[in-house]
Amino acid sequence: MSFIYTPENQKKADAYIKQYPKGRQASAVLPLLDLAQRQSGGWLPQPVLEAVAEMLDMPFIKVLEVASFYTMFNLKPVGTYHLQICGTTPCWLKGAEDLKKACEHHLKIKTGETTKDQKFTLSEVECLGACINAPVMQINDDYYENLSEASVAELLKNLPSKGSSNA
């Protein structure tokens, strides 16, 4: 398996790289990985990481370090809906653990798993940056704040049944 950006995404990638001075193109690694993940169905297989490394003239291991450090990048496939519950102290104090348990109960999976129909993946992440409105959950690119077990159950029930929001 190999990876190349679509023509449209290649133009975007080139534009990101051009934002950095000569010799500093590696600074474009975050936007290039994000772009590649969206094109790859929500995750970054090894050939994608290798292509980004080659494009930026970076060692593969450096790209892997970036991709494995940030929770916004997925190194294994995720469901159509990637549910990420913040587990840091403010969210935890305001009930994030209860939200996680509610999701596990509703979806019949454990944190870190994907439903059999590949529709939902449940993850716990560190700080989604909305502590004032804890507890917080991100579903694909959308944030949901001030959640309760009831509001999470309602939210999951009302997600569209078809289509992918992570591409």
Identify the pLDDT of residue 1.
Answer: 76
H/E stretch holding 93 reads helix 89-93
Domain architecture of the chain: domains with CATH: 7-69 (1.10.10), 81-157 (3.40.30.10)
> pTM of the prediction?
0.84
User: pLDDT of 48-87, one tens digit each?
Assistant: 999 999 999 999 999 999 999 998 999 999 999 999 999 9
Would you say residue 146 has pLDDT above 80? yes
Q: What confidence tier does 167 reach under pLDDT thresholds 50, 70, 90? A: very low
Structure tokens at 31: 């936007």
The answer to whether 68 and 45 have CB atoms below 8 angstroms apart is no
